[in-house]
Chain A
Amino acid sequence: MLSSIIWTPLLFGLIGLLVPKRFAAWVAAFGAVITLGLAIGVLAGFDPDGGMQYVTDVTWIPGLGVDYSLGIDGVSIFLVLLTTVAWIPAICFSAMRGTERPALYYLMLLAGETATLGAFLAQDLLLFVLFFDLMIVPFYFLFGIWGRDRGGENDPEDSPGNGVVTVQSATLKMIVFTLIGSLLMLVGAIAAAVISADGGELTFSMQTIIARGLPDGSQNWIFWFFAAAFLVKMPAFPLHGWMPDSYRAAPLPALAVFSAVLSKVGAYGFLRVVLPMMPDAADLFQTTMLVLAVASILYGSAMAFTKTDLRLVLGFSSVAQLGFITAGIFAFDVTGAEGAVLQMVNHGLVVVPAFLIVAMIAERTGSTELGPMGGLAKKAPVFAVIFLIVSMATLAIPASANFIGEFYILNGLFQVDAAWAIVASIGVALAAFYALRMYQLTMHNPLPEGADSREISLRDALVLIPMVGIIVVLAFCPQLIIHGSEPAVDSAVAVVREVAR
């Protein structure tokens, strides 16, 4: 069942190649919807306390002890759902706008979905590393072929202050950064398997490696190899060098799913791999990781409210949100970890519509530069209300599920030390500032001549409404997600908690 979820998108992507140009988009959309249907089928049969379910285990390379084993549990089920939900609006949005070479575009987009789903469902360490690497390749081509050079005088859209970005240099920087991390992770993964086997039968399955345990000495360096890969992917504060350029050059629908879902694989990796497998190292480096997390929060927020390009404002706000999630995970408390999982889903749900709205704004004002923008709400009340809900969810207003996530993270942090929670809560105040600034500078203030504030078209509304609807429904009862994921998250964090105490 899980294999069908992983490979359906790719299958439809390939079918899209054969179908005439015009239908490629709708074949892709149909494929994404089917994947969502399968995911909901899995959710229906899912029992929160059942631990690892729907397990499929087929030997893939016996020579190396690598087997194609999949499984889903509380931690990954809602992230899988988030992935399948997030891809549909992106595909529909680009279907409506039409792209050059559509067949290849949708093949790459769906291949990205396949790889991400694979990463969430893989229970074999090496399969996880493989899908982790595979995720970046389609987006490398998506950003490279359909992205655009930015900045400089020939680009009317961009303010000179932001500097020139060529698509090739941006995508190269992105893929080199990400793959440096994942190559280190490959070495770390193999070392983990080999050391934990120590003479015994070599296997990469996560459960066995966790059961066998790793000696302290090697845990430390393997921890940092994994942490490097995940921190680059998020991106976390010191390793986000690649993010500004690639966010400015990328096409917005692809960027929406990239920023919403791929960054979650990094955080998911900490929960699934690092915490259970290297508890001692995690406990030893807890303070460093918390410092990095809080630094990401403050740095991300500071950048978010100074940047003038909307894409970068959203990008750095994701850095801040991911900082919260990492802080939640490394608080080693069940409320913190559960808050982190809830926040992962919420952030994903918020970022996809946010980027699509930025795309719509760019169509209305000609550029994503905040400076010359304003007053779009004049003749577009529905568009303004949708953007209002999304930006309120971004700053985690207490009526939203984001608030519950962030509140539990702060509660988890508080158990570690009150100081962490207080510094992180500065991030909450800054979040209010940058989210509102983003909303005001685009929607309010007088309307400049260049921009026209036309109402959201019905088709665009149909793309956004489902996601915003889910945000509102979750706002009323976040317990849906918490109930499903708590037992699994608790067991993931339990190992480290014992060591930490």
Chain B
Amino acid sequence: MIFDAPTIDYAGLSPIIALTAGLVAIVLAAVIDPIKRFGPVLALLAYAVTAGCLIWQWNADVDLVAGALRLDGLAVTLSLLAVVSAAVAVLLAIGDPSETQAGRSDWLALLTGSLLGMVILAQATSMLTFFVGLELLSIPLYALCGTNLRRRESLESGLKYLIVGSVGSATLLYGLAMIYGASGATGFQAIADGLQAGDGMLSDSLTLVGVGLVAVGLAFKVSIAPFHQWTPDVYQGAPTPVTAFMAVATKAAAFAVFIRFFEVALGPIADQWDVLLAALAALSIVVGNVGALAQSSLKRMLGYSGIAQAGYMLAGIVTATQAGVDALVFYLAGYVAMNVAAFAVVVIRERQTGFSDDISSLRGLGRSKPLVAWPLTIAMLALAGLPPTVGFIGKLYLIEALVDDDWTWLAVMIAIGTMISLAYYLRVAATVWMSPADEPEAAAIDTAALPPQIAGAQVDPFDDPHADRRWYLLAPAIIAAAAAVFFGVIPQPLVEFANHAGNALSIWIS
């Protein structure tokens, strides 16, 4: 019996191959001492190569690995966003205590592993790769959250994330099983055909319960309302570079599979789940915005704002139209720029003042360090959706997609959510610009103010008074802020970037 090896489309798989090679290189580098210091450079190199492959495959539209993966516009765009955020996370991590304590290359290996999971998830078109991608993405993150061993909260956030994450993925698995039972196939396209040919009552209730459970699993991953409770705690507990990576990259990958699964696999029964998703979106807009009002820790506030922004983005899927997907991807790209700028400044201020990520660390920033103050202000204005920034165009795109598909009430919900969000975003801008810096700038770190140390550990290398002059911290902030304004004034390139993702699904949705 002739056994012919399966044809491997290397071009299509090139991003994954490049990333895996990078992962292996980083792990090996840990062994060879001299190269140890070059960990971050190695990681960045790997990401650059992956990004190169993705751009090289820009117009690819091909099924890989017998229908398990699919490299198309949607996958390429969202993977690019994930790679960019991973690169930023690496930059922000240089000199971060969690990285030094956990050993630089191990930290980077976990990060790259999680990135690999995201790239796979973005391309997943079958239940198997969907589940594997999701787990490969989440498990390294659980570990990453706990890397700052010296701080009790980091461990706590890691464990919390793990337990609640596993409950989420277990529910997801159970849902996938149900759908598998109802449609009889694992590939998304096959599921869609199976559902259309679905017969009798059994498959109907079975599918719907399955869809519900999968929706829960994904909702958890993207931190949508009733399943959002882990987000603020984990964002605050985890080391800031990890939080930055988690806030942005996970959403990109999770929304990729959310779109693909719901638009492609569950396309035929769209009228069943769109009302549910709309309700979830509305709920998370309210909970996210209102929750952020009463926060004093920046990371926790950005966590709540992430919940609210996820609500806005979920509205993109509700319409089940190409315009909706374009709007979502556009908003996601903007979201990356805004959050990177914000988190970069939080990292800088965390290291300079003793207040860790408390809002009072920003007092008088506008007067003393305008170069740091402006990116944060632009990020806040963008998140609030004010005109000259990409946030405004993103909201505009979303509202237009919604009103076009006559979901006007959801558009009004987005408007109301933005109104509430003004209060806390502009409060940050107000603290930066309008309040006097009441204590000397380079405050000596009074250890009492630090979160409780674990007995016996030496003091963290946390105090770096010149953090705002570190190029690797300042560059991401300034570039991201500049992008937020640039795409706000000239949004056309970003619109084409988003349309590329939308056209990829043109077969399934109008």
A–B contact (CB under 8 angstroms)? yes
CB-based contact A137/B403 at 8 Å: no
CB-based contact A191/B408 at 8 Å: yes
Q: Which positions 173-196 of chain A face chain B at CB distance < 8 Å? A: 175-176, 179-180, 183-184, 186-187, 190-191, 193-194
**Residues on B with beta carbons closer than 8 Å to the beta carbon of A187:** 399, 403, 408, 411-412, 415
**Residues on B with beta carbons closer than 8 Å to the beta carbon of A144:** 430, 433-434
CB-based contact A126/B434 at 8 Å: no
A141 contacts partner chain B, Cβ-Cβ < 8 Å: yes
Q: Which of A61-69, A88-96, A327-335 contacts B (4 or more CB under 8 A)?
A: A61-69
Which residue in A137, A175, A184, A190 is a CB contact (below 8 Å) of B396?
A190
Q: How far is the CA of A130 from the CA of B395 in the complex (A)?
A: 12
A134 contacts partner chain B, Cβ-Cβ < 8 Å: yes
A133 touching B411 in the complex, CB below 8 Å, given contacts A61-B492, A172-B427, A179-B419: no
CB-based contact B399/A172 at 8 Å: no
* Size class of the A contact interface (CB-based, 8 Å): 20 to 34
**Residues on A with beta carbons closer than 8 Å to the beta carbon of B387:** 130-131, 133-134, 137
* Size class of the B contact interface (CB-based, 8 Å): 35 or more
A62 touching B492 in the complex, CB below 8 Å, given contacts A145-B433, A186-B395, A187-B415: yes
CB-based contact A190/B399 at 8 Å: yes
Most buried by A among B399, B411, B418, B430: B430
Q: Which positions 103-150 of chain A face chain B at CB distance < 8 Å? A: 126, 130-131, 133-134, 137, 140-141, 144-145
A296 contacts partner chain B, Cβ-Cβ < 8 Å: no
Q: How far is the CA of A230 from the CA of B426 in the complex (A)?
A: 22
B397 contacts partner chain A, Cβ-Cβ < 8 Å: yes
B399: nearest chain-A partner, CB-CB? A190
CB-based contact A64/B400 at 8 Å: yes
B53 contacts partner chain A, Cβ-Cβ < 8 Å: no
Q: What is the minimal beta-carbon distance from B89 to any residue of chain A, in angstroms?
A: 30
Q: How far is the CA of A184 from the CA of B395 in the complex (A)?
A: 12
Q: How far is the CA of A195 from the CA of B305 in the complex (A)?
A: 31
Which residue in B388, B415, B426, B433 is a CB contact (below 8 Å) of A134?
B388
Cβ proximity bits B364-407 to A, threshold 8 Å, 1 near / 0 not: 00110000000000000100111110001101110110011000
Q: How far is the CA of A202 from the CA of B419 in the complex (A)?
A: 27
A184 touching B430 in the complex, CB below 8 Å, given contacts A64-B396, A191-B408: no
Q: How far is the CA of A126 from the CA of B400 in the complex (A)?
A: 11
B489: nearest chain-A partner, CB-CB? A60
CB-based contact A133/B392 at 8 Å: yes
B385: nearest chain-A partner, CB-CB? A183
B370: nearest chain-A partner, CB-CB? A104
Q: How far is the CA of A366 from the CA of B399 in the complex (A)?
A: 50
Q: How far is the CA of A179 from the CA of B499 in the complex (A)?
A: 29
Which residue in B366, B385, B411, B496 is a CB contact (below 8 Å) of A190?
B411
Q: How far is the CA of A202 from the CA of B495 in the complex (A)?
A: 16
Q: How far is the CA of A126 from the CA of B426 in the complex (A)?
A: 24
A56 contacts partner chain B, Cβ-Cβ < 8 Å: no
Q: What is the minimal beta-carbon distance from A132 to any residue of chain B, in angstroms?
A: 8
A167 contacts partner chain B, Cβ-Cβ < 8 Å: yes
Most buried by A among B384, B404, B411: B404
B423 contacts partner chain A, Cβ-Cβ < 8 Å: yes
**Residues on B with beta carbons closer than 8 Å to the beta carbon of A101:** 367
CB-based contact B423/A176 at 8 Å: yes
B422 contacts partner chain A, Cβ-Cβ < 8 Å: yes
CB-based contact A194/B433 at 8 Å: no
**Residues on A with beta carbons closer than 8 Å to the beta carbon of B430:** 144, 168, 171-172
Which residue in A168, A175, A190 is a CB contact (below 8 Å) of B422?
A175
Q: How far is the CA of A280 from the CA of B288 in the complex (A)?
A: 39
Q: How far is the CA of A156 from the CA of B397 in the complex (A)?
A: 50
A221: nearest chain-B partner, CB-CB? B408
CB-based contact B415/A63 at 8 Å: no
A63: nearest chain-B partner, CB-CB? B495
Most buried by A among B397, B399, B415: B415
CB-based contact B381/A137 at 8 Å: yes
**Residues on B with beta carbons closer than 8 Å to the beta carbon of A64:** 396-397, 400, 495
**Residues on B with beta carbons closer than 8 Å to the beta carbon of A171:** 430, 434
Q: What is the minimal beta-carbon distance from A165 to any residue of chain B, in angstroms?
A: 13
A141 touching B433 in the complex, CB below 8 Å, given contacts A134-B388, A175-B422: yes
Cβ proximity bits B104-117 to A, threshold 8 Å, 1 near / 0 not: 00000000000000
CB-based contact B392/A183 at 8 Å: no
CB-based contact A183/B426 at 8 Å: no
B498: nearest chain-A partner, CB-CB? A63
A186 touching B415 in the complex, CB below 8 Å, given contacts A64-B495, A144-B434: yes
Q: What is the minimal beta-carbon distance from A129 to any residue of chain B, in angstroms?
A: 8
Q: How far is the CA of A172 from the CA of B386 in the complex (A)?
A: 14
A197: nearest chain-B partner, CB-CB? B404
B52 contacts partner chain A, Cβ-Cβ < 8 Å: no
Which residue in A168, A184, A193 is a CB contact (below 8 Å) of B415?
A184
Q: Which positions 47-67 of chain A face chain B at CB distance < 8 Å? A: 60-64, 66
**Residues on B with beta carbons closer than 8 Å to the beta carbon of A172:** 422-423, 426-427, 430
Q: What is the minimal beta-carbon distance from B206 to any residue of chain A, in angstroms?
A: 38
B491 contacts partner chain A, Cβ-Cβ < 8 Å: yes
Q: What is the minimal beta-carbon distance from B349 to any residue of chain A, in angstroms?
A: 19
CB-based contact A183/B433 at 8 Å: no
**Residues on A with beta carbons closer than 8 Å to the beta carbon of B397:** 63-64
**Residues on B with beta carbons closer than 8 Å to the beta carbon of A62:** 492, 495
**Residues on B with beta carbons closer than 8 Å to the beta carbon of A190:** 396, 399-400, 403, 411
CB-based contact A186/B399 at 8 Å: yes
**Residues on A with beta carbons closer than 8 Å to the beta carbon of B403:** 187, 190-191, 194
CB-based contact A176/B434 at 8 Å: no
B435 contacts partner chain A, Cβ-Cβ < 8 Å: yes
Q: How far is the CA of A467 from the CA of B395 in the complex (A)?
A: 41
**Residues on A with beta carbons closer than 8 Å to the beta carbon of B357:** none
**Residues on A with beta carbons closer than 8 Å to the beta carbon of B381:** 137
B393: nearest chain-A partner, CB-CB? A61
Q: How far is the CA of A193 from the CA of B411 in the complex (A)?
A: 14
Most buried by B among A171, A193, A194: A194
**Residues on B with beta carbons closer than 8 Å to the beta carbon of A126:** 396
CB-based contact A176/B422 at 8 Å: yes
Q: What is the minimal beta-carbon distance from A118 to any residue of chain B, in angstroms?
A: 10
Q: How far is the CA of A63 from the CA of B498 in the complex (A)?
A: 10
A194: nearest chain-B partner, CB-CB? B403
CB-based contact B396/A133 at 8 Å: no
A137 touching B386 in the complex, CB below 8 Å, given contacts A172-B426, A186-B395: yes
A132: nearest chain-B partner, CB-CB? B387
**Residues on A with beta carbons closer than 8 Å to the beta carbon of B411:** 187, 190-191
B326 contacts partner chain A, Cβ-Cβ < 8 Å: yes
A145 touching B434 in the complex, CB below 8 Å, given contacts A61-B492, A134-B387, A183-B419: yes
Q: Which positions 291-341 of chain B face chain A at CB distance < 8 Å? A: 326
Q: How far is the CA of A191 from the CA of B410 in the complex (A)?
A: 13
**Residues on B with beta carbons closer than 8 Å to the beta carbon of A184:** 412, 415
B415: nearest chain-A partner, CB-CB? A183
CB-based contact A168/B386 at 8 Å: no
CB-based contact B419/A176 at 8 Å: yes
List of 10 A-B pairs having minimum Cβ-Cβ separation, nearest first: A63-B495, A133-B387, A183-B415, A134-B387, A144-B434, A168-B430, A130-B387, A180-B419, A194-B403, A187-B415
Q: Residues of B with Cβ closer than 8 Å to A?
A: 326, 366-367, 381, 384-388, 392-393, 395-397, 399-400, 403-404, 408, 411-412, 415, 418-419, 422-423, 426-427, 430, 433-435, 491-492, 495-496, 498-499
Q: Supply 6 further A-B pairs (C-beta < 8 A) apart from A63-B496, A176-B423, A187-B415.
A: A64-B397, A131-B387, A134-B386, A187-B399, A190-B396, A190-B399
Q: Residues of A with Cβ closer than 8 Å to B?
A: 60-64, 66, 101, 126, 130-131, 133-134, 137, 140-141, 144-145, 167-168, 171-172, 175-176, 179-180, 183-184, 186-187, 190-191, 193-194, 202
A and B contact pairs by CB, cutoff 8 A, 26 listed: A62-B495, A63-B499, A64-B400, A66-B396, A126-B396, A130-B387, A134-B387, A134-B388, A137-B387, A141-B433, A144-B430, A145-B366, A145-B433, A167-B434, A168-B430, A172-B423, A179-B418, A180-B419, A183-B385, A184-B412, A184-B415, A186-B396, A187-B403, A190-B403, A191-B408, A202-B404
